[in-house]
Amino acid sequence: LAKTTQPISMDSYEGQEVNITCSHNNIATNDYITWYQQFPSQGPRFIIQGYKTKVTNEVASLFIPADRKSSTLSLPRVSLSDTAVYYCLVVVGSGNTGKLIFGQGTTLQVKP
Amino acid sequence: DTGVSQNPRHKITKRGQNVTFRCDPISEHNRLYWYRQTLGQGPEFLTYFQNEAQLEKSRLLSDRFSAERPKGSFSTLEIQRTEQGDSAMYLCASSFGASGGLYEQYFGPGTRLTVT
């Protein structure tokens, strides 16, 4: 069964770039890798997803190497409001019947 | 559209009682997911519907758990004979997908279950 590994916590300062890596093996070969953000007492919120190489949207970038055994979420110029837990989400299996596996989460603390 | 809603938001029950939670997805979304999340952990996948068909069930979903999605709209998750280990946040999410594959999921606020 696939297993994901993320750092449990990270600290940063406002304005810095933060990179969070998730290691994942045995994931579905044809599905996206997705990252979510979660604040206390709320459901997770979608940040970004990608299949391979690099994807960028208005809030983050996602780097995925060719072997797809890891992915790195990059948050440029973080602010205090980016303090949250960040999860990677991968799929094991394929098609409509794949199982969804969240990482254990990385708690990011942004300091002033 | 107001997003994914879940009811109740909080439920306290005594061990051995049955509980039922409801999830109303975003109206045009054909996929619906249930997860369980305990403190300090990531969400754990429980089950997944595409329209009214339940396509996947985790081994975490024991015989005491059942989920339905009649008519492919709202969904209910029932836990029979609750145990203290069932205490957790139960999250529902929905997405739209025309074919196989993972799509952006929109999560509800969750139902927090406490079993005493």
Tell me whether B107 touches chain A (CB under 8 Å).
Answer: yes
By CB atoms closer than 10 A (0-12, 13-18, 19+), residue A45 is middle
CB nearest B108 (choices: A30, A43, A97):
A43
Q: In terms of Cα–Cα distance, which of A75, A109, A108, A106 is closest to A4?
A: A106
A2 pLDDT band, cuts 50/70/90, is: low
Residue B71 predicted with pLDDT over 90:
no
Question: What average pLDDT does this structure show over B11-31?
Answer: 96
Q: How far is A50 from chain B (nearest CA, A)?
A: 10
Please check the confidence at residue B106 and state whether its pLDDT lies above 60.
yes
CB contacts of B105 in chain A (<8 Å) are 34, 44, 46
Distance (Å, whole) CA A26 – CA A31:
12
Q: Which tokens go with A95? A: 């098609």
Record: contact A100-B45, CB cut-off 8 A: yes
Nearest C-alpha in A relative to B41: A104
**Nearest chain A alpha carbon to B58:** A99
Identify the band that residue B57 occupies on the pLDDT scale cut at 50, 70 and 90.
confident
Percent of chain A residues past pLDDT 90, beyond the cut: 72
**Nearest alpha carbon to residue B92 among B30, B9, B38, B25:** B25
Beta bridge partners of B57: B47
If pLDDT is split at 50, 70 and 90, which confidence band does B8 have?
A: very high
Alpha-carbon A75 to chain mean position: 10
Interface test with B, best of A100, A101, A102 (most B CBs within 10 A): A100
* Structure-model confidence comparison of residues B100 and B12, the more confident one: B12
Task: Reduce the DSSP state of residue B84 to 3 states and report it.
Answer: helix
Q: Which residues on A lie below 8 Å from B45 (Cβ)?
A: 99-102
- Joined together, the tokens standing for residue B12 give 């306290």
A50 has a chain B CB within 8 A of its CB:
no
Q: How many CB atoms lie within 10 A of CB A62?
A: 23
Best CA proximity match to B60, nearest among A69, A48, B41: B41
Please return the burial class of B67, using the count of CB atoms within 10 Å of its CB with bins 0-12, 13-18 and 19+: buried
**Segment B74-90 mean pLDDT:** 97
Confidence (pLDDT) at B46: 93
Q: How far apart are CA A25 and CA B39, in angstroms?
A: 25
Q: B44: burial class by Cβ within 10 Å (0-12, 13-18, 19+)?
A: middle
On the question of pLDDT at A72 being above 90, the answer is yes
Cα of B68 to nearest chain A Cα, Å: 17
> So what's the pLDDT on residue B26?
93
Given a contact cutoff of 8 angstroms between Cβ atoms, the answer to whether B111 and B4 are in contact is no
- Say whether residue B102 is in contact with chain A using an 8 A CB cutoff: yes
